[in-house]
Amino acid sequence: MILDIIIDGLIKGSVYALLAIGFSLVLGVARIINIAHTALYMTAAYLIFVGTKLMGLPAPLAMVASIVLTVILGLLIYNFFIKPIQEHEAAVLIATIAVAMMIQEVFLMIFGGHYLGVNPLIDGYATILGVKVTYQHLLALGLALVVLVATRMFLQKTRLGLAIRSTAQDREVANLMGMNVTRVAMGTMAVSVGMAAITGAIVVPLVTVEPTMWMHPLIMMLAIVVLGGLGSIEGSFVGAFILGFAESLVVFLVPMGSFLKDSVALSIMILVLLIRPEGLFGVSFEEER
Amino acid sequence: MGLLGVYFRRTVGILRTEVLVLPSRVAVLVFIVALMALPIFTQDYYFLRVLILTSIFAIFAASWDLLSGFTGQMNFGHALFFGVAAYVTALLNLKLGLPPYFSIPLGAVGGVLTGLIVGIPCLRLKGSYLALTTLAFPIILTGIVFAIPSITGGELGLAGLSRLTGSRVMDYYLTSGLMLILGFTMWKITDSKTGIILHAIREDELAVRTAGVNTTRYKLLAFCMSGFFAGVAGGLYAHFMRLAGPSGLEVGLSFQVIIWAVFGGMVTIYGPIAGVFILYPLMEILRIVLDQFPSLPEIRMFIFAALVLLTLLFMPEGLIPWVRDKIETECPRCKVRNVFSRQRCRICDAALD
C-alpha cells in the first residue's frame, strides 16, 4: 500500500511537474495563460495511438513523430491565433480555451468518445518489497525524471535558456539588451509544447486516451502553478510533487477518494495561498507596466 | 385625457431627441420591443424554451462582466455562484417547500454569501493568481457534492422542483423581464459613483487606494453583487429546468460564460448580454440544421469554437464594441456619441472627423 502510494505519487508528481513547468515558462515569457497546454498533451497521446495502433509504427518512432508533429501544431496555433491578438489579454485567454475545445472536438469527431489504450513499451513487472510494480511505471518515472533534469540543464546552461529566463524576469530590459523578445517567445512556446508532448508520450501507456483526458491535468497544472508561485520553475516542481502525492494519498486512503481528489488538492492550494499569497516560491513579478 | 396627451408628447420627445439619434439606442429599443412582443407571434414550446435559457444565461454573463470586466477581478470559476444558488434554491424548494418567489431570492442570497466566502481569500490575490485560484472553488465544491449524495443528490442532482410559473409564456415573460431589469440595474451600477470606483480599481488599484478609497470593501462589494446576480440566474435555471445538479458547477460552464462575455465585448454589460443572445440561439439553430444531416459527425462545438476564434482574430475587443465603433463616433470636444454619418456633433456642433 505504502509503496503503491509512493510510486503513484512519484509518477503523478513528475508528470504534473513536466506540464506545470512548460506552462509556467510560457506564462512567464509571453504572459499567456495557455489553457490549450494540456490539450496539446492529449494531441501527442492521440498521435501515438494513431502511430502504434493504426499505422503499426514501432513505438519509439511513433513517440518521436508525435512529439515533432505536436510542436509544429503548437507553433502554428501560436502564430495564427495567439500572436495577432497578444496585447488583448482576455481575448488571448478565450482564444486558448477555444483552441482547446477545438482540439477536443476534432478528436471526438475522429475517434468518438471511446476509451482507447496504447500497449506498454515493455511488459512485465518487478517485485519491490513485495509489491508488483510494472516496468512501464518505472520507465515512465525514469523518463520523466530525465526530462526534468534535461529541462533544468537547458534553462541553466544554454543561450536560449538564459534568454528565456531573462525575458521572464523583465521583458523590457531583455528587449533593451538586444534580445528578440518575439523570437524568444516563439522558442519558449516550442519548448513548452515540446514538454507537453513528451509528457503525453511518457504517460500514454498508463492512461486511457479519450477526448476529455486534458481536463483533469489542466486543473491540477493550474493549481500547481499557483501553489508554487507563478513563473517559478522550482515552485512548479515542488508544487507538482506535493499535489501529486496528495492526490494519490486521497485516492488510496480516503473513502470516496476519487471524487475528492481534486477538492483536496485544490484546498491545499487555497490554504497555502491564504498564508503566502505569492505561492511557495513566489518570485514577485515586476509590476505590470 | 389632456394629462395623458402631455405624457405621450413627452415620451415621443424623449424618443426623438435621445433614442432615435443613436443607432445603438434604437437597437436596444427594438430588442426590448421584439423580446416583449415575441409571444404574440409564436408560442412554440421549444422556441420559448431556448429564449428563456438565453435570458437566464444573459443575466449570468452580465454578472461575470460586472466582476471581471468592470472591477478587473478575473473570475475563472463563476459557475460557483450559479451552482451554489441553484442548490440552495433547490434545497429550499424541496425540503422546506418554499415557492419560487421566495426560494430564488434566498438562493441569490446564497450567491452573495458565496461571494463573501470566495472574496475574502481572493482579496489578497491579483491578476493571473486570482484567475487560477477562483477556478478551484467550484471544483472543490463538486467534489463535496459527489461525496455527500444524501443531501445533494450526488451525480443526479436534485430533481423535481416546482415550476417557475404556471405556463411557458409566463415563464418567458418572467425570465426575459427579469433579464431586462437586472441587466439595466447592472448597467446603472457601472454608471454610478460605485461603478466609477470599481472601474478605477481595474485601471490602477494603488492609485485608488492612494486617493483614500477602501478598495478592499469595494472589491468585496463587487464579489457580492456579482454573486447576487449570478445567483438569481442560478435560481431561475434550477426552477426552470426543475433540476439542480453538478453540471451547474462545471469548469465548462465557467469557460462558457467567459466566452460569451468576451465574444460580446467586456466592460460594457450589454456586450455579454448580446453575446449570449447571439451565441446561444445560434448553437440551437446549428443543432437543428445539423440534425438534418445525420451522416455528419458531431461538429457543433467545433463550429462554435472556430467561430469564436475567428471573431476574436478580427475583433479582439469583442463583437459589440467593434460594431458600435463602426456605426458611431465620439465627439472630440464633448465626448457625446454621434451617428457615423453626421458631420458635426449633435450637441456642441464641433466638427467630427
Go through A205-226 and write b for each residue having 16 or more CB atoms within 10 A of its CB, e for each that does not.
Answer: bbbebbbebbbebbbbbbbbbb
Q: Which residues of B touch A (CB under 8 A)?
A: 121, 124-125, 127-129, 131-133, 135-137, 139-144, 146-147, 251, 255, 258-259, 262-263, 266, 297-299, 301-302, 304-306, 308-309, 312-313, 316-317
Based on the fold, state whether residues B255 and B167 are members of the same structural domain.
yes
- Predicted local distance difference test score (pLDDT) of residue B210: 93
Closest CA to B92 of B231, B253, B248, B251: B231
Q: Note whether B326 and B207 are same-domain residues.
A: no
- Cell numbers of A9, please? 505519487
B57 — pLDDT class (breaks 50, 70, 90): very high
Mean per-residue pLDDT, B293-301: 77
Residue A281 lies in a domain: no
Phi, psi at B243, each rounded to 5°: -160, 135
Q: What is the DSSP string of A209-262?
A: B-TTTTHHHHHHHHHHHHHH-TT-HHHHHHHHHHHHHHHHHHHHHSTTHHHHHH
> Does residue B155 have a pLDDT over 50?
yes
Cβ(A19)–Cβ(A199) under 8 Å?
yes
Average pLDDT over every residue of A75-84: 90
Q: Are residues B350 and B232 in the same domain?
A: no
Q: Which residues of chain B neighbour A256 with C-beta distances below 8 Å?
A: 146-147
Of the candidates B320, B222, B216, B227, the one whose C-alpha atom is nearest the C-alpha of residue B265 is B320
* Residues B227, B167 within the same domain: yes
Cell of A284: 514577485
pLDDT bracket for residue A76 (50, 70, 90): very high
List the single range of A122-136, A197-211, A242-256, B252-266 with lowest mean pLDDT. A122-136
Which pLDDT belongs to residue A287? Answer: 44
Q: Which of A287, A40, A2, A91 is nearest to B261 (CA)?
A: A91
Tell me what pLDDT residue A289 has: 34
- Show Cβ contacts of residue B264 under 8 Å, excluding neighbours closer than 6 positions: B61, B270, B271, B272, B273, B274, B275, B276, B278, B318, B319, B320
Q: Which residues contact B23 (CB under 8 A, 6 or more apart)?
A: B327, B328, B339
A206 touches chain B (CB under 8 A): no
Q: Could you tell me if residue B60 is inside a domain?
A: yes
**Does residue B124 sit in the same domain as residue B187?**
yes
Q: Is residue A280 part of a domain?
A: no
Banded model confidence at residue B48, pLDDT cuts 50, 70, 90: very high
Which pLDDT belongs to residue B59? Answer: 95
All three cell numbers of A161, joined, read: 535558456
Domain annotation covers residue A108: yes
If asked whether residues B254 and B338 sit together in one domain, one would say no
The beta-carbon neighbor of B128 closest among A33, A98, A274 is: A33
**A275 within domain boundaries:** no
Residue of B nearest to A87 (CA): B316
Q: Are A41 and A19 in contact (CB under 8 A)?
A: yes
In order of A61, B53, B90, the CA distances from B160 in angstroms are 55, 18, 9
Lowest mean pLDDT among B48-52, B75-79, B305-309: B305-309
Same domain flag for B238 and B324: no
Number of domains into which chain A is organized: 1
B210 and B291 share one domain: yes
How far apart CA A186 and CA A198 sit, in angstroms, is 18
Distance CA B280, CA B304 (A): 10
Residue B122 has what pLDDT?
83
Put simply, whether A97 touches B (Cβ < 8 Å) is: yes
Average pLDDT over residues B218-227: 93
Q: Which chain A residue's Cα is nearest to B74?
A: A90
Specify the higher pLDDT residue, B155 or A193.
A193
Ranges A52-56, A203-207, B167-171, B292-296: which has the least confidence = B292-296
Burial class for B147, CB neighbours closer than 10 Å (0-12, 13-18, 19+)? middle
Do residues B336 and B297 share a domain? no
Strand B328-330, strand B337-339: pairing? antiparallel
CB contact under 8 A, A222 and B144: no
Residue B161, pLDDT score:
87
pLDDT of residue B197: 93
* B284/B50 Cα distance (integer angstroms): 8
- DSSP codes joined into one string, B68-92: IIIS----S-THHHHHHHHHHHHHH
Examine residue B14 and state whether it is found in any structural domain, yes or no. Answer: no
Average pLDDT, rounded, for chain B: 89
What's the mean per-residue pLDDT of chain A? 86
Residue of A nearest to B250 (CA): A215
Q: What is the pLDDT of residue A283?
A: 60
The CATH code of the domain that includes B108 is: 1.10.3470
Is A219 an interface residue toward B (CB < 8 Å)? Answer: yes
Confidence (pLDDT) at A6: 85
pLDDT top residue among A277 and A163: A163
Tens-place pLDDT, residues A212-259: 888 889 988 988 988 888 777 888 888 999 999 988 888 888 777 777
Residue A263 near residue A281 (C-beta atoms within 8 A): no
Cell numbers for B50, please give them.
431556448
CA distance A17 to A20: 5
What cell was used for B44? 412554440
Range of the domain at B297: 42-304
- Which grid cell is A147? 526530462
Nearest to A273 among B131, B133, B306 (CB): B133
pLDDT in tens, B274-288: 999 999 999 999 888
Please give the residue that has the higher pLDDT: either B224 or B2.
B224
Q: Which of B135, B136, B137, B127 is nearest to B73 (CA)?
A: B127
What residues in B contact A106, CB-CB < 8 Å? 302
Nearest CA in chain B to A100: B305
Q: Residue A178 in 3-state DSSP?
A: coil
Mean pLDDT of the A18-42 span: 89
Q: Name the residue of chain A whose CA is nearest to B142's CA.
A: A263
Q: Which of B302, B303, B315 to mutate to test the interface with A (most CBs of A within 10 A)?
A: B302
Q: Which of A218, A206, A186 is nearest to A48 (CA)?
A: A206
Give the mean pLDDT of B244-254. 88
A94 occurs within a structural domain: yes
> How confident is residue B233, by pLDDT bands cut at 50, 70 and 90?
very high
Cβ contacts of A102 on chain B, cutoff 8 Å: 302, 305-306, 309
* Residue A116: domain span: 2-212
Rounded mean pLDDT, B138-147: 88
pLDDT for A288 beyond 50: no
From chain B, pick out residues whose CB is under 8 angstroms from the CB of A85. 312-313, 316
pLDDT in tens, A168-214: 888 888 889 988 888 899 999 999 999 999 999 888 888 888 888 88
Residue B186: pLDDT above 90? yes
For range A263-288, the mean pLDDT: 75
pLDDT in tens, A36-51: 999 999 999 999 999 8
Question: Would you say residue A238 lies in a domain?
Answer: no
> Do you know the residue count of chain B?
353
Residue recorded with cell 438562493: B107
Query: What count of residues does chain A have?
Result: 289
The interface predicted TM-score of the complex, written ipTM, equals 0.82
Cα-based distances in Å from B70 to A61, A77, B57, B198, B329: 51, 30, 19, 6, 22
- Cβ–Cβ gap B312/A259 under 8 Å: no
Number of domains chain B is built from: 2
Does residue B210 come out as left (phi exceeding 0), alpha (psi in the -120 to 50 range) or beta?
A: alpha
Interface test with B, best of A104, A109, A215, A273 (most B CBs within 10 A): A273
The DSSP secondary-structure symbol of A53 reads I
Virtual CA dihedral for A169, A174, A179, A185, nearest 10 degrees?
40
Q: Which of A137, A119, A140 is nearest to A128 (CA)?
A: A137
- The Cα B142–Cα B130 span in angstroms is 20
Amino acid letter for position A39: A
Task: Please tell me whether residues B262 and B233 are part of one structural domain.
Answer: yes
- Specify whether B204 is located in the same domain as B332: no
Q: Nearest by CB to A223, which of B136, B299, B304?
A: B136
Using 50, 70 and 90 to split pLDDT, how confident is the model at B218? very high
The residue type found at A92 is V
Asked if pLDDT for residue B339 goes beyond 60, the answer is yes
**pLDDT for res B275:** 93
pLDDT of residue A284: 56
Q: Are residues B254 and B330 in the same domain?
A: no
